[in-house]
Amino acid sequence: MINFFRILVVFVSLGLLSNIVMADDVYDVANIKVNSSGKDGIDAKQKAMAKAEAKAVVILFDRLLTSGQKKKALKRLDRETRSLLVKGFSVKNEQSGGTQYIAEITIKFRKTAVQRYLASMGAQYSDSQSDISILIPILTDASGNSVIWSAQNAWSEALAAHDLKNSLMPLKIPNSSEAGLLATEQEVIDKNENAIYQLSSIVLEGAQTVFAHMSLTATTATLQVSGLTNYSKKYTIKNGNLNAVYTKAANEFLKRLVSSWRNNNITSKPRLAAIKALVVFGDFNQWIAIRRQLNQVSAISEYDTAVTTAEGTFIDIKHKGSIATLATEMEQNGLLLIDLGAYFEIRG
């Protein structure tokens, strides 16, 4: 009877919650907490907005790019260009008084502007979201007591502080009121298959689930991740500072989750440039050798033979990056690229 009633609740939940828990936009960055002071309230607010904008672009690039490309993108980004990428913002929990301004800000970026900026530096990125998944943060203390939502869960709070819904892999942490009769806390902790399936209806029937189980001792914290991905990592608790452990573990867990999705779902198309070049060679064997060398140049996306003359063979090259980068990589592969103005010349 109880299982039948739960099934009814699943269908009701799907209707009531479908507009609440869907993933948002990867070009929105939410949950940016700011606390700024200035000569007056207006000055404090302007400083807070600038801080939020600077934090948001770091989070956005961390979301879309690998760590190496993120560093490159931020290094090239001046304040004026950064502002041009911003579409707008929204504010909640605003507190303003005297010379201080406190708020929680969401920055909305212009999708096309961001894509153009990343394309200008030849970056590969992903802005394709996965389906939303359920995240279950279990905290087990040194005495062996486990909690998800029935009592304070600082591990869950550390995860929720991140902008989970706008991530490339959007996540939903269920609370007790959302779980309702779908699944009890103990059933979820015990990973009862039926209860977990029922709980998934909060976002989507049959949605994937990832468990992030943090277990504590007096000196260590061990994170055991299972479900959507699987790994384990142990952290040392220094000076009893559990919040530092939770913050570090949450950062690493979410980056690992997103990185796997991003690297397998690159959506960008690198902008290619084209040049015409005359390949100079003495005989057919040398031409074959030069072609083999050209195939080793990663900056060359493709090349086609155009026409053969008495001096050599003209080829049309499509390449990534600048001419200088192309020339450097060709030199590393034993080829010389010479700019003759009307066309280029390649010698082995």
Query: 37 and 112: one domain?
Result: yes
Model confidence at 5, pLDDT cuts 50, 70, 90, reads very low
CA distances from 1 to 5, 191, 195, 304 (A): 6, 21, 15, 70
- For residue 24, the model assigns a pLDDT of 62
What pLDDT is recorded for position 7?
34
* pLDDT of 264: 85
Q: Which one of 89, 120, 151 terminates a domain? A: 120
- Counting residues of the chain whose pLDDT is more than 90, the rounded percentage is 67
What is the chain's mean pLDDT, rounded? 88
- State the pLDDT at residue 23: 44
- For residues 246 and 197, membership in a common domain is answered with yes
- Domain identity same for 255 and 143: yes
Which CATH number do you get for residue 313?
A: 3.30.70
Residue 211: give the domain boundaries: 2-22+128-264
Neighbour-count burial for 235-248, b at 16+ CB within 10 Å, e otherwise: beeeeeebeebbee
Quick one: average pLDDT of 298-319?
A: 88
Max mean pLDDT range (3-17, 220-234, 310-324): 220-234
172 and 218 fall within a common domain = yes
pLDDT, one tens digit per residue, over 196-208 is 999 998 988 788 9
Residue 305's pLDDT is: 87
Distances (CA, A) of 119 to 107, 125, 206, 268, 301: 21, 9, 37, 8, 16
Query: In angstroms, how far is the first alpha carbon of the chain from the final one?
Result: 80
Give 241-277 pLDDT, tens digit per residue: 999 999 999 999 999 999 988 988 888 765 678 899 9
Average pLDDT over residues 208-213: 96
Dist CA 342 CA 89 (whole Å): 49
d(CA 139, CA 132): 22
What domain count does the chain have? 3
Which of 210, 237, 264 corresponds to the end of one domain? 264
338-to-181, 252, 282, 291, 348 alpha-carbon distances in Å: 73, 47, 17, 17, 11
Residue 281: CB atoms within 10 Å: 18
Model confidence band, residue 19 (pLDDT cutoffs 50, 70, 90): very low
Q: Tell me: do 213 and 146 sit in the same domain.
A: yes
Please tell me the predicted confidence (pLDDT) of residue 165: 93
Higher pLDDT, 21 or 186: 186
The string of pLDDT tens digits covering residues 75-111 is 999 989 999 999 999 999 999 888 999 999 999 999 9
Mean pLDDT across 115-123:
86
Instruction: Indicate if 208 and 284 belong to the same structural domain.
Output: no
Residue 334 has pLDDT above 60, yes or no: yes
